[in-house]
Structure 1
Amino acid sequence: MRPIDYDTEQHQHYARGRALTQPQLHVWISAFDALLPDRRPLTGLDIGSGTGRFTPALANAFGPVTGVEPSARMREVAHAQSRHPAVRYLPGTAEDIPAPSGSADYALLGWSWHHVRDKPRAVRELARVLRPGGRLLLRTNFSDHHPRPWWLEYFPRGYEADASIFQPLHEVIAMFTSAGWRVADFGTVTEPSAGTRADVLERLRLRTLSFFAQLTPDELETGFHRLEQAVAVDPDAPAPVFAEPLLTLELR
């Protein structure tokens, strides 16, 4: 996939383009809660925390969280939106996490694994910062387990271009298990509707998804034209929901 520089391309609109409703956020936190140890507090890492979509909610639910984000502009937005007493944001990447060894009970990589350039190094680094028995919540798509959002069908090469960003599931699992992890769970999470079809179109126009960087200008123009025509038929209809994969790995 084409690398995205969030300091220059998406930081201004990312929070609005990728906003979650409270019901959607509740569904995700409940899913994470079911996969993490019962004891509280837990020390967490939000790797690729972006503008802090999840970080404050993780702190409210589980305990202190460090958001790790390479983009200075994205961290600035996160700070501006929420100054949670149990949250801090630090510069770093999945390959270079600013945390002591064995200091975290869990890590979330939410919608960010496809941006990790040196994945084998990230696997080792995640193992370094988690305690034995620590869990990694890996929310990412897989080329062979793709959620197929309803709006993708309107873009030329839509499904193909989006799936090409991601690895197949077996490849990701093999990468982790060969480095001492085990699969604790694999399932899907279905968010409540993101609003009306018109609401979703408005957010998509901000182009804060990595998918849009993979298309040509002509493909983008064609796709948005088709999508706008389809939404205009019934703009107030609820946006269709779809199931998103969640892989949970445990450090042996």
Structure 2
Amino acid sequence: MVDYDGRLHQVYAAGRSLPADSLDIWMEVAAGVAPAERPLTVLDLGCGTGRFTPALAETFGGPVYGVEPSAGMREQAAPHPDVTYLEGSAEAVPLPDGSCDLVWLFLTIHHWTDPLQGFREVNRVLRPGGAVVLRTQFGDRMPDLYWYRYFPTARQVDAAMYLPFDEVRSLASQAGLVADEEPQWVEAAEVRTRQALYERLKLRAFSTFEHIDADELDRGFAEFERDAAADPDGELPTFPAGVLVLRRPTD
């Protein structure tokens, strides 16, 4: 388990911020999946510091509930008049049955202690016909991210954190949700140059770094800093983000 109430909540907002064009792309993805009527009630489960929560309120025009177990992350969360931040977890969502039209799950299910119960809770709070946008990595379909070259164990660490694709679909199905046959792949790069990526990663706001030893971190960041200084505007390869759409069937 990663302790977001220790160091991470202090650096998360800066280390995981999104450029406006990337946020727009993600809202287009959400709008393409959500029921057509407006306004909609949205659950941002594992909302962290509210990277997406206010934008979900603006996009769908209804109340948005950001549910987050970390008090430190909730204290840093971005305010919005239509957003309510609540203490809770995937395994115990503090919302009534059938109260939401859309559930937003962005890089969160690998932190769930009981994924099947988490999906059951998602199914419980969804109205019939409601949808889920599940952005995650899949342990058997991991991208070869540029920064992995600086930290030799990072890819293995990440792959161990994420469930394989078929297991994710199976757990969702057991919980009563219907999953797409294949993920969508979304191009929404958060950073585009070597220096920008270094500046982001040096904050160590990615949970991956909590599982890498100090010597490897020191060596990796020193090498990355040198490369970034030598070619700060060098463009990075981009990797599409995996999204699995889930739905609650109509009764």
Asked if Structure 1 and Structure 2 have the same fold, meaning a TM-score greater than 0.5 normalized by the shorter chain, the answer is yes
Give the conservation status (yes or no) of the 8 Å contact 1:193–1:238: no
User: How far apart, CA to CA, are the structure 1 residues paired with 2:223 and 2:158?
Assistant: 17
Q: 2:232: which partner in 1?
A: 235
What is aligned with 1:204? 201
* Contact in 1 for aligned 2:69/2:87 (Cα 8 Å): yes
Selected match of 1:161 from 153, 157, 163: 157
**Cα offsets for 1:23-62 (capped at 9, x unmatched):** 1101111111111122111100000001000000000001
Mapping of residues 83-162 of structure 1, within 5 Å:
83-162=79-158
Equivalent residue pairs, number? 247
* Residue equivalent to 2:30: 32
State the distance in 2 between where 1:28 and 1:211 align. 23
Deviations 1:194-239 (A, max 9, x none): 1421111011011010110111111112221232233233112234
The question of whether the paired residues in 2 share the 8 Å contact of 1:147 and 1:245 is answered with no
Matches of 2:190 and 2:49, distance apart in 1: 22
Runs of at least 5 residues in structure 2 that lack an aligned partner in the other structure: none
- Displacement after TM superposition at 1:171 (Å): 0.5
Between 192-201 and 12-21, report the one with greater CA deviation.
192-201
Q: Is 2:19–2:190's contact at 8 Å kept on the other side of the alignment?
A: no
What amino acid maps onto 2:66 in structure 1? G
Q: What TM-score do you get using the length of structure 1 for normalisation? A: 0.94
Distance of 2:242 and 2:163 partners within structure 1: 13
TM-score by length of 2: 0.94
Structure 1: runs of 5 or more not aligned: none
- Find out whether 1:172 has 2:165 as its counterpart: no
Alpha-carbon displacement from aligned partner over 1:173-194 (angstroms, at most 9, x marks no partner): 0111122211146211111451
- Please tell me whether the aligned partners of residues 120 and 176 of structure 2 are also in contact (alpha carbons under 8 angstroms): no
